[in-house]
Amino acid sequence: MADLSIDFAGIKSPNPFWLASAPPTNTGDQVMRAFDAGWGGAVWKTLGNPIVNVSSRFGGIDYGNTRMMGLNNIELITDRPLEVNLREIREVKRRYPNHAVITSLMVETKEEWKEIIQRAEEAGSDGHELNFGCPHGMCERGMGSAVSSEPKVLREIASWAVEFATKPVIVKLSPNVTDIVEPGEAVLESKAHGISLINTIKSIMGIDLDRMVPLPRVGDASTNGGYCGPAVKPVALHMVGELTRHPYIAKLPISGIGGISNWRDAAEFIALGCTSVQVCTAVMHYGYRIVEDMIEGLNDFLDSKGMKSVLELRGRAAPQYKNWGELDLGYRVVADISTDKCIGCQLCYVACMDGAHQCIHLPGRTEEQARKAGHTHIPKLIPDRAVTAKGGTPGARVPFVDEEECIGCNLCQLVCPVSGCITMKEVASDKPHETWDDRVQRGADFVPGGLHVTEMERAKRNG
């Protein structure tokens, strides 16, 4: 089995799977049960001056048969006394010395930062995560995401923490910014030892249309909260990618957070450059034991790739994340529909006709019928193939892809309900490898049919 142990800026952990700072890390009992289940580390629910929470606190959004695709949270930092939390941290570290216990911290003044860091370290904290990401409640008091949105303030406060701490300092960033690189560079300038991201996204989960109150409802009102869960994973991956391709920020270890629910999600974050990953919503949904499948799945994946350590996976995909202008304009794929698997539902046809490029045809139509349906290019031959797949629509025909017109957008594959029925096959291209940046560099970035053509024709007409 591959070695899953990691060293995150000096914080050692038996595996890269950490619990994120949230309700699942609210007490010592919870963290110890999580460690027994297999979690390698835990970021304690944020410590600071205790607050008062409201009821209710969570809102969920479903999609189809998927429950809680996204979760909205208006809960704040710990509402338990600091002394109680510190006592429990001390006990957890005594019982689990080889697991990572990181304290998430959020206070206001420089003196408060000094005191809380000192007390957290006395309790045995292995490192500190500065909560500069909370998007509700605390940011209204000048903390949380209010800090991430002001790089100068972030740099100053993080510098205080680095000055006061003897353990590694990790800065947790908010996604509620225009450019994640700006706060990332501020972390670098502060001399902090690592970055974690993303925190939750500002959101309103929905509206109770009977009471006309946003959700989750607190009496006769509500507020914006933090959005998390599987739905935010693409946003999180993008922001991680922006930092891991930065020539200097990439040198800092990154803890990836956002929609991680299984080993494959974790592997994707690690492949993009993360050293550890943090999980919250999936644990709130399914419990601590999901880490068993995560550990087994990641081990099996690394073994299948011949990797002896999870560190070999780290950053493998990062060099392939590029700007649009660096992509090969000559590369081409087209859709290919399996006659053996197609059930004749025609979802691919509808999607292509109304949402893409009208290159999928239904057999048995006359040219007049095809043009009336919206086609402008009619292939000379449209094979008439009957649906033979088990569970297929009786009498249905397999749609036909006009490869000459197909632009390889992938939409048909994405809407197809049958796994493996539609694949995108690579086809030979008569175009050389060329990027848009290449064209710009040699002055060949003019494309006929734009405003420049209009201006040129106008100039010709005007003599």
Catalytic residues: 134
Judge contact between 424 and 333, C-beta under 8 A: yes
| Tally of residues, the chain | 463
CA-only gyration radius of the chain, Å: 27
Place of tokens 């739905």: 231
- Write the CA distances from 357 to 348, 415, 418, integer angstroms: 11, 15, 21
How are beta strands 66-73 and 225-228 bridged, if at all?
A: antiparallel
Angle at which helix 110-122 crosses helix 82-95, to 10 degrees, equals: 30
| Residue 8 burial class via C-beta count within 10 angstroms: exposed 0-12, middle 13-18, buried 19 and up | buried
| Side chain identity at residue 209, one-letter code | L
Centroid of chain to Cα 16: 17
Alpha carbon distance 120, 87 (integer Å): 10
Q: HSE on the CB side for 14, CA within 13 Å?
A: 14
Q: What is the largest CA-CA distance in the chain?
A: 88
Written as six digits, the tokens of 418 are: 């049958």
Q: What phi and psi, each to the nearest 5 degrees, are found at residue 227?
A: -95, 130
